[in-house]
Chain A
Amino acid sequence: MAMIDEPLYPIAILIDELKNEDIQLRLNSIRRLSTIARALGEERTRKELIPFLSENNDDDDEVLLAMAEELGVFIPYVGGVEYAHVLLPPLETLCTVEETCVRDKAVESLCRIGVQMKENYLVDWFVPLVKRLAAGEWFTARVSSCGLFHIAYPSAPDQLKAELRSIYSQLCQDDMPMVRRAAASNLGKFAATVEQSYLKAEIMSIFDDLTQDDQDSVRLLAVESCAALGKLLEPLDCVAHILPVIVNFSQDKSWRVRYMVANQLYELCEAVGPEPTRVDLVPAYVRLLRDNEAEVRIAAAGKVTKFCRILGPQLPIQHILPCVKELSSDSSQHVRSALASVIMGMAPVLGKDATIDQLLPIFLSLLKDEFPDVRLNIISKLDQVNQVIGIDLLSQSLLPAIVELAEDRHWRVRLAIIEYIPLLASQLGVGFFDDKLGTLCMQWLEDKVFSIRDAAANNLKRLAEEFGPEWAMQHIIPQVLDKISNPHYLYRMTILQAISLLAPVLGVDITCQKLLPVVIASSKDRVPNIKFNVAKVLQSLVPILDQSVVENTIRPCLIELSEDPDVDVRYFANQALQASDQVMMSS
């Protein structure tokens, strides 16, 4: 072709593609920026491509987002870390656009580049960029700048550091709440880079201002930095500066603030040390567990295990457990659900005795909760309790509840139980299993919900793996095969599914003697769906059976099905025949 000889102008191609009205094409070409850069070589990438991108930022946000992301990993294409700074101008522009996603991605990319840049380059290029953005005319630039200080600060010389700190403090007092919020939410990251002496003097006063902001939304974010700041300070300073603030916040009139405190409180325990934790934080936490607002109780309940893990066994038994007991019968189902999802984790903290005396009754009451999510959350963590109280006690006290839940009217609960059965079976042993759970496993095969039937079939396979073919022959196979005469075709289909899963586990003999005849008989079913499922099952059996069986039993059956009046049956029969041909050829 003639155009092979045409000279190649990578930039021209890009410009051309970016002019296209189809956004998908523009996106594709931005996604392949690295190709263009490599084709251009490093120098021309720096001198032509990057300047072009700096100017071409009037595109759809989606394209800009892609550009912001690509530029974050572009250092190799401009000639390595030495030249990383050439990537800053286009990203700086992207930091000022209106769309939040684009700005966030540009900041992320700038951080990614910044951490690789050499110190003097950071001072020459990155710090000025941060300063320009922080002085931006519109809030978008100033918001973006807040997320860059922690990169710029460490390498700056002392005087510049002082300047950066004062700029940050101005951002925290910005006229626009948007900027103050951004400054508040990045305060923790920035503070982590600031020297201890300035931390106490300057950062803490910034923090104090933010905690007294007249906008709820700003104070809310200030709470978030409480924990981060607390970890940076010496324990004594933390007690002096952070503790009063957080205790105060825990009684804020806005529930959103209290909610934030409930989420953060446990992180402060280590920062302030054991004594203040006992005196101040535990009472604050107990208050939050008993808050009027359900949202706050949800957050507090969700952290109960993390909190207790820090406190050790004694304090929780005294102070927290009584609240937990209250929460287990809370009027809000969401509170109970949050509690149920973490409460299992308390068992290792409290030890065996306290768990049996105090936690077990709570588990049991949550297991009988009227709200399925609560029950589900308990069941999914049962193995944690097992480790503490042992299988005997577990089976005595929890099994009745489990048996009850196995017939729960919410299918997701039943599903969770089924998935737990193999684990339970392996720990309880064969004898116990046969007594209590065997019939349940059969019952699920005839559940009204497909997912349950599907899980039940799979469960049988896992049980057969656990207890071996002989046990399966005795306890599973007869019952399963009986059910093939169920009048409803969907249940018959489940049995076929179970057979195809069990066959590989049970081995050739059992399959040939017991399973295969049932499958073959089903090929005469009156429902086409059963017939083509027979074809599928037979196909899956071919590789594990002897060639003679395939030749004498399976193929004749498939050939008959391949002449069925139903088109789907014919299709799957032919598929199976082809597959069996291939297996025969290869063997």
Chain B
Amino acid sequence: MWKQFLSKLPRKSSKLDSVSDSTHNHPGSNASSSGNSIQRANSGNAGPGRSTTVKRMSSAVFPSSVVAGIEPLLSFKDISNTEKQNLFISKLNLCSVVFDFSDPNKNSAEKDMKRQALLDLIDFVNSGTSRFTEPMISASCKMVAINLFRGFPPNYRSNSSGGGETEEEEPMFDPAWSHLQLVYELLLKFISSSSLDAKMGKKFIDHSFILRLLELFDSEDPRERDCLKTILHRIYGKFMVHRPFIRKAVSNIFYRFVFETDRHNGIAELLEVFGSVISGFALPLKEEHKLFLWRALIPLHKPKSVGVYLQQLTYCVTQFLEKEPKLASSVIRGLLKYWPVTNSQKEVMFLSELEEVLEATNVVEFQKCMVPLFRRIGYCVNSSHFQVAERALFLWNNDHVISLVAQNRQDIMPLIVPALEKNSQNHWNQAVLNLTMNVRKMLSEMDEELFLACQRKFEEEEEKRVAVEEKRKMTWERLETAASFQPVTGNTAVLVRSVMAPAIAASLA
């Protein structure tokens, strides 16, 4: 029954579901996506309870003069083909007036008129009669810019609710959506239309247009981001000349998010577009694309909100690995670099991604990174957070991982056996204990002699540990004493070693 219901929802809802899979939160997410559909039904006035209102354009009235020399309220079917272009532009001009939706009762007649005009425009673009002329394209882009390119209001929730990371945040819905939606639909149809010549279009759908379109991905309204996703995809597909620019501009958004702000609403959507962009990369991969992996995708593992877009991110990363398996070890090293220190939830996610990456890793690549990797997995196995320990131990349920381990057991067992021994001695969680015993059994069946050797070594080292600690302390104490005998600063010290002075000067030159 749910399936039937969900099939009617926009594509976004399926994404919501898949994201919340990991948190076992099905009923909740369905509720929120059904809320989404209700919201859609009565969009217009279903604004969020924001106290401040956008007062601009309160006195908006339509331009009284008929701009393109034709009454905009006419219907396309009532006029001759030659007049259609003018009517198109005239209707676009009409739609270039933006209304205040914070008050649903204001200008409601005009709002309806604009809505009808937008619907007419969409129909016209859909019918795909003749090529769009330059004035038509120019007017379309202008109308879209006026309607869509706006500054978003501040995000109050983050201010008032403090660090509300854990609570499921309600998506924010734009009160003006009933118009915005149609403008987006028109833009999408327009760009996809075979009547739009890419060469002519690129003059108006230019770098600045794309840049401002990309800025909209930060919208809090999931419906808007969903529209943008499709549109960006089409633009990328249609305007080949803009591809490098789009890749660069999106990278910049990622950099800003990762290294500066830590806040952006549309990372998941942007990554979704890039998932298909990456799968379209030609082989062999260009250096530029590999840099994108290392400099944008891998650092995207750093922000604390990684859970929101991890699914899309993992997809992008695995797309790269499918194209070029030789990237695997550098990806794994990247994951290790950004491995979470205190955030256990994130650690569980990293372990899941790691497993997916390992699936696509061959022995040669594996050998390049297995030592630091299994040192890290050892720490995870010992985690006092039982979900982390469990997830790490689950890696041994994967046949590919087992075979990689088996082939390299001489290196891996010495790293993992101590972790297993520590767990079996004092992990608090029964499930983790059981899993530990299973993995221990598996490893000892894999190579009993080696396993026992590792076990003995661990026991010896445990015994020596206190002595090693003591020795370290002694060494530092001796160092401290030695240091205290040396003169602290002094240009006087140079005099004593005057013989050395030329050598220093030489080395500095």
User: When the two chains form their complex, are residues B474 and A10 in contact, meaning their CB atoms are under 8 A apart?
Assistant: no
Question: What residues of B have a CB within 8 angstroms of the CB of A76 in the complex?
Answer: 488-489
B19 vs chain A, min Cβ distance (A): 27
Cα distance A76–B483 in the bound complex, in angstroms: 13
Question: What residues of B have a CB within 8 angstroms of the CB of A214 in the complex?
Answer: 208, 211
Which label, helix, strand, loop or mixed, suits the secondary structure of the B interface?
helix
Q: Counting CB contacts under 8 A, is A82 at the interface?
A: yes
Question: What residues of B have a CB within 8 angstroms of the CB of A217 in the complex?
Answer: 256
User: When the two chains form their complex, are residues A46 and B153 in contact, meaning their CB atoms are under 8 A apart?
Assistant: no
Q: Counting CB contacts under 8 A, is B62 at the interface?
A: no
Cα distance A98–B51 in the bound complex, in angstroms: 41
Proximity string of chain A (24-44) to chain B, C-beta cutoff 8 Å, 1 when within and 0 when not:
010000001001111111110
Proximity string of chain B (468-499) to chain A, C-beta cutoff 8 Å, 1 when within and 0 when not:
00011011101110111010111101100100
Question: What residues of A have a CB within 8 angstroms of the CB of B474 in the complex?
Answer: 1, 3
Q: Which B280-309 residues sit within 8 Å CB-CB of chain A?
A: 295, 299
Point out the residue from B154, B256, B299 that lies within 8 Å of A98, measured CB to CB: B299
User: When the two chains form their complex, are residues A255 and B504 in contact, meaning their CB atoms are under 8 A apart?
Assistant: no
Q: Counting CB contacts under 8 A, is A332 at the interface?
A: yes
Q: Counting CB contacts under 8 A, is A234 at the interface?
A: no
Q: Counting CB contacts under 8 A, is B151 at the interface?
A: yes
Q: Counting CB contacts under 8 A, is A55 at the interface?
A: no
State whether A178 and B256 are in contact (beta carbons under 8 Å apart), knowing that A76-B489, A80-B489, A80-B491 are contacts in the complex: yes
Q: Counting CB contacts under 8 A, is A8 at the interface?
A: yes
Cα distance A260–B1 in the bound complex, in angstroms: 52
Stretch at the interface among A112-120, A289-297, A516-524, A572-580: A289-297
User: When the two chains form their complex, are residues B494 and A293 in contact, meaning their CB atoms are under 8 A apart?
Assistant: no
A289 vs chain B, min Cβ distance (A): 14
Point out the residue from A80, A139, A255 that lies within 8 Å of B154, measured CB to CB: A255
Cα distance A176–B472 in the bound complex, in angstroms: 47
State whether A177 and B55 are in contact (beta carbons under 8 Å apart), knowing that A35-B483, A43-B497, A98-B299 are contacts in the complex: no
Which of B153, B154, B299, B488 neighbours the largest number of chain A CB atoms within 10 Å of its CB? B154
User: When the two chains form their complex, are residues A8 and B479 in contact, meaning their CB atoms are under 8 A apart?
Assistant: yes
> Looking across the interface, which residue of chain B has its beta carbon closest to that of A217?
B256
B106 vs chain A, min Cβ distance (A): 15
User: When the two chains form their complex, are residues A292 and B260 in contact, meaning their CB atoms are under 8 A apart?
Assistant: no
Point out the residue from A17, A138, A177 that lies within 8 Å of B252, measured CB to CB: A177
Q: Counting CB contacts under 8 A, is A100 at the interface?
A: yes
Q: Counting CB contacts under 8 A, is A461 at the interface?
A: no
B206 vs chain A, min Cβ distance (A): 11
Cα distance A98–B215 in the bound complex, in angstroms: 24
Cα distance A98–B252 in the bound complex, in angstroms: 14
A99 vs chain B, min Cβ distance (A): 8
Cα distance A300–B246 in the bound complex, in angstroms: 37
State whether A292 and B51 are in contact (beta carbons under 8 Å apart), knowing that A35-B480, A178-B260 are contacts in the complex: no
User: When the two chains form their complex, are residues A46 and B504 in contact, meaning their CB atoms are under 8 A apart?
Assistant: yes
User: When the two chains form their complex, are residues A35 and B479 in contact, meaning their CB atoms are under 8 A apart?
Assistant: yes
Cα distance A217–B214 in the bound complex, in angstroms: 14
Q: Counting CB contacts under 8 A, is A400 at the interface?
A: no
Cα distance A215–B56 in the bound complex, in angstroms: 23
Which of B52, B55, B208, B480 neighbours the largest number of chain A CB atoms within 10 Å of its CB? B52
State whether A294 and B51 are in contact (beta carbons under 8 Å apart), knowing that A39-B486, A254-B151 are contacts in the complex: yes
Interface size class of B (residues with CB under 8 A): 35 or more
Proximity string of chain A (184-197) to chain B, C-beta cutoff 8 Å, 1 when within and 0 when not:
00000000000000
Q: Counting CB contacts under 8 A, is A581 at the interface?
A: no
B337 vs chain A, min Cβ distance (A): 8
User: When the two chains form their complex, are residues B504 and A43 in contact, meaning their CB atoms are under 8 A apart?
Assistant: yes
Q: Counting CB contacts under 8 A, is A462 at the interface?
A: no
Question: What residues of A have a CB within 8 angstroms of the CB of B55 in the complex?
Answer: 292
A259 vs chain B, min Cβ distance (A): 8
Proximity string of chain B (390-415) to chain A, C-beta cutoff 8 Å, 1 when within and 0 when not:
00000000000000000000000000
Question: What residues of B have a CB within 8 angstroms of the CB of A292 in the complex?
Answer: 52-56
Cα distance A1–B474 in the bound complex, in angstroms: 11
Q: Counting CB contacts under 8 A, is A253 at the interface?
A: yes
Q: Counting CB contacts under 8 A, is B84 at the interface?
A: no
Cα distance A85–B497 in the bound complex, in angstroms: 20
Question: What residues of B have a CB within 8 angstroms of the CB of A10 in the complex?
Answer: 479, 482
User: When the two chains form their complex, are residues A41 and B489 in contact, meaning their CB atoms are under 8 A apart?
Assistant: no
Question: What residues of A have a CB within 8 angstroms of the CB of B105 in the complex?
Answer: none
User: When the two chains form their complex, are residues B482 and A332 in contact, meaning their CB atoms are under 8 A apart?
Assistant: no
Cα distance A377–B56 in the bound complex, in angstroms: 32
Cα distance A255–B56 in the bound complex, in angstroms: 13
Q: Counting CB contacts under 8 A, is A79 at the interface?
A: yes
Point out the residue from A35, A79, A139, A178 that lies within 8 Å of B476, measured CB to CB: A35
State whether A79 and B489 are in contact (beta carbons under 8 Å apart), knowing that A43-B504, A178-B252 are contacts in the complex: yes
State whether A294 and B52 are in contact (beta carbons under 8 Å apart), knowing that A3-B474, A181-B260 are contacts in the complex: yes
Q: Counting CB contacts under 8 A, is A514 at the interface?
A: no
User: When the two chains form their complex, are residues B489 and A38 in contact, meaning their CB atoms are under 8 A apart?
Assistant: no
State whether A13 and B479 are in contact (beta carbons under 8 Å apart), knowing that A178-B259, A292-B56 are contacts in the complex: yes
Q: Counting CB contacts under 8 A, is B255 at the interface?
A: yes
Proximity string of chain A (54-71) to chain B, C-beta cutoff 8 Å, 1 when within and 0 when not:
000000100000000000
State whether A332 and B52 are in contact (beta carbons under 8 Å apart), knowing that A79-B494, A181-B260, A214-B208 are contacts in the complex: yes
State whether A39 and B153 are in contact (beta carbons under 8 Å apart), knowing that A47-B507, A79-B493, A292-B56 are contacts in the complex: no
Q: Counting CB contacts under 8 A, is A381 at the interface?
A: no
Cα distance A39–B491 in the bound complex, in angstroms: 17
Cα distance A82–B489 in the bound complex, in angstroms: 11
Cα distance A13–B471 in the bound complex, in angstroms: 12
User: When the two chains form their complex, are residues B151 and A253 in contact, meaning their CB atoms are under 8 A apart?
Assistant: yes
Q: Counting CB contacts under 8 A, is B500 at the interface?
A: yes
User: When the two chains form their complex, are residues A293 and B153 in contact, meaning their CB atoms are under 8 A apart?
Assistant: yes
Q: Counting CB contacts under 8 A, is A412 at the interface?
A: no
> Looking across the interface, which residue of chain B has its beta carbon closest to that of A21?
B375
Q: Counting CB contacts under 8 A, is B7 at the interface?
A: no
Cα distance A293–B211 in the bound complex, in angstroms: 25
User: When the two chains form their complex, are residues B151 and A255 in contact, meaning their CB atoms are under 8 A apart?
Assistant: yes
User: When the two chains form their complex, are residues B491 and A331 in contact, meaning their CB atoms are under 8 A apart?
Assistant: no
Question: What residues of A have a CB within 8 angstroms of the CB of B159 in the complex?
Answer: 334
A374 vs chain B, min Cβ distance (A): 14
User: When the two chains form their complex, are residues A295 and B154 in contact, meaning their CB atoms are under 8 A apart?
Assistant: yes
Q: Which A326-380 residues sit within 8 Å CB-CB of chain B?
A: 331-332, 334
A311 vs chain B, min Cβ distance (A): 27
Q: Which A361-408 residues sit within 8 Å CB-CB of chain B?
A: none
> Looking across the interface, which residue of chain A has its beta carbon closest to that of B54?
A292
Question: What residues of B have a CB within 8 angstroms of the CB of A176 in the complex?
Answer: 252, 255
Cα distance A256–B151 in the bound complex, in angstroms: 9
Q: Counting CB contacts under 8 A, is A434 at the interface?
A: no
Proximity string of chain A (503-537) to chain B, C-beta cutoff 8 Å, 1 when within and 0 when not:
00000000000000000000000000000000000
User: When the two chains form their complex, are residues A82 and B491 in contact, meaning their CB atoms are under 8 A apart?
Assistant: yes
Q: Counting CB contacts under 8 A, is A563 at the interface?
A: no
Question: What residues of A have a CB within 8 angstroms of the CB of B52 in the complex?
Answer: 292-294, 331-332
A107 vs chain B, min Cβ distance (A): 14
Cα distance A10–B337 in the bound complex, in angstroms: 29
> Looking across the interface, which residue of chain A has its beta carbon closest to that of B261?
A217
Cα distance A125–B155 in the bound complex, in angstroms: 46
Q: Counting CB contacts under 8 A, is A216 at the interface?
A: yes
Question: What residues of A have a CB within 8 angstroms of the CB of B472 in the complex?
Answer: 17, 25
Question: What residues of A have a CB within 8 angstroms of the CB of B54 in the complex?
Answer: 292
User: When the two chains form their complex, are residues B471 and A3 in contact, meaning their CB atoms are under 8 A apart?
Assistant: yes
Proximity string of chain A (169-208) to chain B, C-beta cutoff 8 Å, 1 when within and 0 when not:
0000000111001000000000000000000000000000
Cα distance A334–B475 in the bound complex, in angstroms: 57
Q: Which A445-494 residues sit within 8 Å CB-CB of chain B?
A: none
> Looking across the interface, which residue of chain B has its beta carbon closest to that of A177?
B252
Q: A79-B489, A214-B211 are in contact. List 5 more A-B contacts (CB 8 A).
A: A42-B493, A176-B255, A292-B55, A294-B52, A331-B52
A-B contact pairs, 20 of them (CB 8 A): A3-B474, A8-B478, A32-B476, A35-B480, A39-B486, A43-B504, A47-B504, A47-B507, A60-B337, A76-B488, A80-B491, A98-B259, A100-B259, A176-B252, A178-B259, A181-B260, A216-B215, A253-B150, A293-B52, A331-B51
Q: Which 10 pairs show the lowest CB-CB distances between chains A and B?
A: A38-B483, A39-B483, A39-B482, A76-B489, A254-B151, A295-B154, A294-B52, A331-B51, A35-B483, A100-B259
